[in-house]
Amino acid sequence: MRRLLLIAIPYVWLAALFLVPFAIVLKISLSDAAIAMPPYMPQFDWTEGIGAFLGELDFENFTFLIEDSLYWKSYLSSLQIATTSMLLTLLVGYPIAYGMARAPEEWRPTLMMLVILPFWTSFLIRVYAWKGILANEGFLNQFLMWTGIVSDPLQILNTTTAVYIGIVYTYLPFMILPIYAALDRMDDSLIEAAEDLGCSRMSAFWLVTVPLSKSGIIAGCFLVFIPAMGEFVIPSLLGGSDTLMIGKVLWEEFFSNRDWPVASAVAVILLMILVVPIVLFQRNQQKEQEADQ
């Protein structure tokens, strides 16, 4: 009985906070927009019964999403931006994690602190701060012009480049921490053993260090890719009008167009796209746990 209760708690949690909201969103996505409060039809009515209610639901919104190229272009563009920024984050994050794992023992807590420290400030404020840095008259351009590298300010803000910078900056800790954890667990004598058996420093890195941090790399990539895919704040604050991201489209459908059914359909498809990497991520975590035992 106690065991059942313990197992039940996470399921109740999941049902209340994920399944029920998802069911509501799914239902809205199958409804029609209406000028009402809430702005969609049909509403469930006890007098008409469940059959009549279900009869009014249809896939019209999903057909619309497929027909209008804006949506699938946004999905593709989001996929591309999420993938590129994931790779960029890996490129920046791996050396940092490697440096941290190789640093003297007494330095590591401090370095760890430095990685986590940005979380102490609001995410929104940090993204706004980037506006100040990247703007035409911002710090970066002022610095570049002062050193004489450029004569005219670079247009970075309101471009996709700014979105990449924002995503890499924001999600860097999610990449660093799992890789650091994997590298930290690694026995230093493995590198010495590889060198002893004829590896150069470089080939020891590729043949031993990288494969052994693979689980950390995979975890970090998913932790960056999954939220970056649906990112809304960064593209709307730093990106320009030509930066297409599905999160932004979703927001506009909900709040500018007040078309809740279409917005819900966008969200449902986004979720379906993300289920694949989420399942893969779970499998990776599980495999790693098994390897630890």
Partner 1 sequence: MAIPVFEPWNDPQAKPLIQFRNVTKRFGDFTAIDDLTIDIYEREFFALLGPSGCGKTTMMRMLAGFENPTEGKIFLAGQDIAPVPPNKRAVNMMFQSYALFPHLSVWENIAFGLKREGMPRNEINTRVEEMLRLTRLEKFARRKPHQISGGQRQRVALARSLAKAPKLLLLDEPLGALDRKLREETQFELMDIQEKTGTTFVIVTHDQEEAMTVASRVAVMDNGRVMQVATPADIYEAPNSVYVADFIGDVNLIEGPVTAIGDGTYALNWREGAAPLTAKSQNTFSDGQTAHLAIRPEKVTISAEKPEGVANAVQGKVLDIAYLGNLSTYHVELPTGDIIKAQTANTRRISRRAFTWEDTVWLSWTATGGVLLVD
Rule CB under 8 A: is residue 208 a binding residue for partner 1? yes
CB nearer to partner 1: give 38 or 211.
211
Per-residue binding letters, 214-233, with partner 1 (x by CB under 8 A) = x-------------------
Q: How many residues bind partner 1 (CB under 8 A)?
A: 19
Measure the CA–CA gap between 224 and 217, rounded to whole angstroms.
Answer: 11
CB nearer to partner 1: give 43 or 200.
200
Distances in Å between the Cα of 189 and the Cα atoms of 180, 186, 192, 202, 220 are 17, 9, 5, 16, 25
Distances in Å between the Cα of 128 and the Cα atoms of 9, 154, 170, 236 are 39, 18, 12, 11
List the one residue from 47, 189, 241, 256 that touches partner 1 (CB under 8 A). Answer: 189
State the burial class of residue 174 (Cβ atoms within 10 Å of its Cβ: 0-12, 13-18, 19+). buried
- Quick check: 71 and 249 in contact, CB under 8 A? yes
State the burial class of residue 241 (Cβ atoms within 10 Å of its Cβ: 0-12, 13-18, 19+). exposed
DSSP state of 194: H
Rule CB under 8 A: is residue 211 a binding residue for partner 1? yes
Q: How far is the CB of 107 from partner 1 (least distance, A)?
A: 18
DSSP state of 231: -
Q: How far is the CB of 199 from partner 1 (least distance, A)?
A: 6
CB nearer to partner 1: give 216 or 261.
216
- Quick check: 253 and 263 in contact, CB under 8 A? yes
CB nearer to partner 1: give 137 or 187.
187
Rule CB under 8 A: is residue 198 a binding residue for partner 1? yes
Amino acid at the residue 273:
I
- Candidate segments 6-14, 81-89, 162-170, 200-208, binder of partner 1 by CB under 8 A: 200-208
Cα 20–chain centre separation: 23
Rule CB under 8 A: is residue 196 a binding residue for partner 1? yes
Q: How far is the CB of 112 from partner 1 (least distance, A)?
A: 25
- Candidate segments 20-28, 61-69, 81-89, 199-207, binder of partner 1 by CB under 8 A: 199-207
DSSP state of 43: P
Within residues 233-292, the interface with partner 1 by CB under 8 A covers 291
Rule CB under 8 A: is residue 105 a binding residue for partner 1? no
Q: How far is the CB of 210 from partner 1 (least distance, A)?
A: 10
- Quick check: 101 and 112 in contact, CB under 8 A? no
Within residues 169-188, the interface with partner 1 by CB under 8 A covers 187
Rule CB under 8 A: is residue 202 a binding residue for partner 1? no
Measure the CA–CA gap between 16 and 27, rounded to whole angstroms.
Answer: 16
CB nearer to partner 1: give 25 or 208.
208
In the chain, how many H helices and how many E strands?
16, 2
List the one residue from 162, 163, 168, 194 that touches partner 1 (CB under 8 A). Answer: 194
CB nearer to partner 1: give 182 or 221.
182
List residues near partner 1 by CB under 8 A: 187, 189-190, 192-200, 203, 207-208, 211-212, 214, 291
